[in-house]
Structure 1
Amino acid sequence: MGNVSTNAMSSNAELAAARTTCVGGDRSTYYWPVLRRLDRMGADQHAVGGGLDDNMGQILTPSSVVIEFRGNPVSKVVAMPRFLRLITGDPVALYTGGANVRAQWGCSGHRDRFTTKYALCPAGSGPTRTLDFPSCWDGLSTDSPGHRTHVVFPSADGVCPHATFAVPQLRITLTYSVPRGVRYAVDSFPEEKRDPSTDHAMFINVMTSRQMSALVGCLNAGRRCHAA
């Protein structure tokens, strides 16, 4: 969602000039791998990225996507620099041993109950994916090798490590309508075997200074605001 020019080779200049799907003109990039139902064949079953990479099944469009930024419970937040890059979760969790796993699978109507496994939801409740991003910035860099060390997660009580600064914390919540009993799986690299622990998401901040200032002001004032 968001910036329509996004690919692995997008430059900052290309991102800044591109169109966006976001209300209010936010050109930021919001990315997550697709979810597929496994009882139907996908249109890309013979394509790279789809069936040729073992990602079989029909792509599911989320019934709901909620993108929100949250403040810090113990301090004010500061503005993210433009083109700050963030990742949450680990797309190669099986290979790396799982140290960076942040997968949170759940069921709609059962708030804050999460598992790193695919959720088995009761009738009338669809599977959800909750993707929380790190929010303690080193104050210097917009990226780092592996995309992880320049922005890290706070402790459980919200305190950021020494020499880091709290920035707005991004949370993406995806909800799906999947018939009860139908199996589903997230796309992954072939060697990761579509393991649910590999769920992840990425973000590049391409908000203008005015947009980021309004976001920070809203959070630090304790208000609930919506994109205009």
Structure 2
Amino acid sequence: MQWSVLSLALFASNVQALLRFSCSQLVVERLDPLVNPGTIGSPHLHQIIGGNAFNASMDPQIAPSDQATCTTCTFAEDFSNYWTAVLYFKARNGTYKRVPQKGNVGFEQSNGGMTVYYTPSYNKGKVTAFKKGFRMIVGNPTYRTEAQAKKYRQLTYTCLKDMNTRTGETMDMPKQPCKAGIMSNLRFPTCWDGVNLDSPDHSSHVAYPSSGTFESNGPCPSTHPVKIPQVFYEVIWDTTKFNDKSLWPEDGSQPFVWSYGDATGYGNHGDYVFGWKGDALQKAMDADCNINCPQLKTQSIAQGNKCAQSMKLKEDIDGWLTELPGGMPVTYK
């Protein structure tokens, strides 16, 4: 997994180590084992990557690595599951079309999916890898204002001028056509309470630094003293086929909506279920691996693309739809 096109421009220059890897799509469907466990047909559509143990219900007492037989990720010991909502284009006539995804820089062969990062620290220091049963959510799909979104201060969008663009992040959806697509960026909290592997809201057991940011080596709050790796998703939505503004609303407003009905972008959110095999992730964090990691087993992007699931809930998600999957209404506030 060589990466020679970018020099990690999106990170501070003092970053010392990180994992960066491709995970292609496992499945796109309405399942959410965290918020709606056991439900076949959660309220909104998700795109899921990672191990094929993903299901409507996922017992935290059972390690995904003990059940999965394959993973879509290029680090072959990572059977975690990562998921986000799905982006749709809303046409002037009120119909919806799912926006396709494309691979990130260096991962152009991947089948959509995401780029995943695990960063141990921006300065030397011990970080504790996640434990079996750990899970978390960042963001809130009900948010529609910037004031609300600032609670999760590192959920952003990048309007791509080209595939190397890593500046100009915004908290709301870009309002102009983006030449190379829209990248959604989801950075999870990096401090843990050290006790709970989950919480009722799936987010209270983790926190952002009490001051500064992870990148500036901000300290963890006393309530969440344990440093954990920064999990970071980059998802590239190929909005280019919808860049003709004659297709946009007559008032010129941006036409993209999330599958949970958000037309502002402030409800951006992501889910994570830890599933690395054994202590593989801790070994990688301790070794300060930089992109490639000899301590970990890898597989090709092509091999990862072979890992897939069939939809459990059969429904049309790709045609021109009269409503969002699940009937989610679109809201602006």
Q: What TM-score bracket applies, with the shorter chain setting the length?
A: 0.7 to 0.9
Aligned in 2, Cα 1:71/1:213: closer, same or farther, shift over 3 Å? Answer: closer
Instruction: Give runs of aligned pairs for residues 79-158 of structure 1, distance below 5 A.
Output: 79-94=129-144, 98=148, 100-102=151-153, 103-108=155-160, 109-120=164-175, 124-154=179-209, 155-156=211-212, 157=216, 158=218
Distance 1:55 1:21 in 2: 31
How big is each residue's C-alpha offset from its partner over 1:125-174, in whole Å with a ceiling of 9 and x where there is no partner?
32110000011011111001201121111232332112511111101011
Q: What corresponds to 2:290 in structure 1?
A: 223
Aligned in 2, Cα 1:211/1:59: closer, same or farther, shift over 3 Å? Answer: same
Q: What corresponds to 2:72 in structure 1?
A: 21
Give the stretch that moved more between structures: 84-93 or 172-181: 172-181
Matched letter for residue 273 of structure 2: I
- Say which SS state the counterpart of residue 291 (structure 2) adopts: coil
Aligned in 2, Cα 1:149/1:36: closer, same or farther, shift over 3 Å? Answer: same
Give the stretch that moved more between structures: 130-139 or 68-77: 68-77
Instruction: Give runs of aligned pairs for residues 1-228 of structure 1, distance below 5 A.
Output: 1-12=49-60, 13=62, 15=64, 16-19=66-69, 20-23=71-74, 24-39=76-91, 56-64=96-104, 65-74=114-123, 75-94=125-144, 98=148, 100-102=151-153, 103-108=155-160, 109-120=164-175, 124-154=179-209, 155-156=211-212, 157=216, 158-162=218-222, 164-179=225-240, 180-181=243-244, 183-188=255-260, 190=261, 193-219=262-288, 223-226=290-293, 228=298
Q: What corresponds to 2:328 in structure 1?
A: none
Note if contact 1:38-1:185 (Cα within 8 Å) is conserved in structure 2: yes
**TM-score, normalised relative to structure 1:** 0.79
Distance 2:95 2:259 in 1: 6
Give 1:37 deviation, angstroms. 2.5
Aligned in 2, Cα 1:58/1:79: closer, same or farther, shift over 3 Å? Answer: closer
Distance 1:104 1:195 in 2: 12
- Say which SS state the counterpart of residue 144 (structure 1) adopts: coil
Aligned in 2, Cα 1:14/1:215: closer, same or farther, shift over 3 Å? Answer: closer
Give 1:211 deviation, angstroms. 1.4
Note if contact 2:99-2:238 (Cα within 8 Å) is conserved in structure 1: no
Give the stretch that moved more between structures: 198-207 or 2-11: 2-11
- Say which SS state the counterpart of residue 119 (structure 1) adopts: coil
Distance 2:95 2:121 in 1: 37
Kindly indicate which of the two structures has a greater share of residues assigned to helix. Answer: 1
Matched letter for residue 184 of structure 1: F
How big is each residue's C-alpha offset from its partner over 1:95-132, in whole Å with a ceiling of 9 and x where there is no partner?
9x726445301123431421122114566332110000
- Say which SS state the counterpart of residue 98 (structure 1) adopts: helix
Give 1:21 deviation, angstroms. 1.8
Note if contact 1:107-1:126 (Cα within 8 Å) is conserved in structure 2: yes
Give 1:40 deviation, angstroms. 9.9
Unpaired segments ≥5 residues, structure 2: 1-48, 105-113, 248-254, 299-333
**Share of identical aligned residues, percent?**
23
Distance 2:202 2:77 in 1: 25
Give 1:195 deviation, angstroms. 3.2
**TM-score, normalised relative to structure 2:** 0.56
Unpaired segments ≥5 residues, structure 1: 42-53
Distance 1:170 1:14 in 2: 19
Give the stretch that moved more between structures: 208-217 or 21-30: 208-217
Note if contact 2:116-2:232 (Cα within 8 Å) is conserved in structure 1: yes
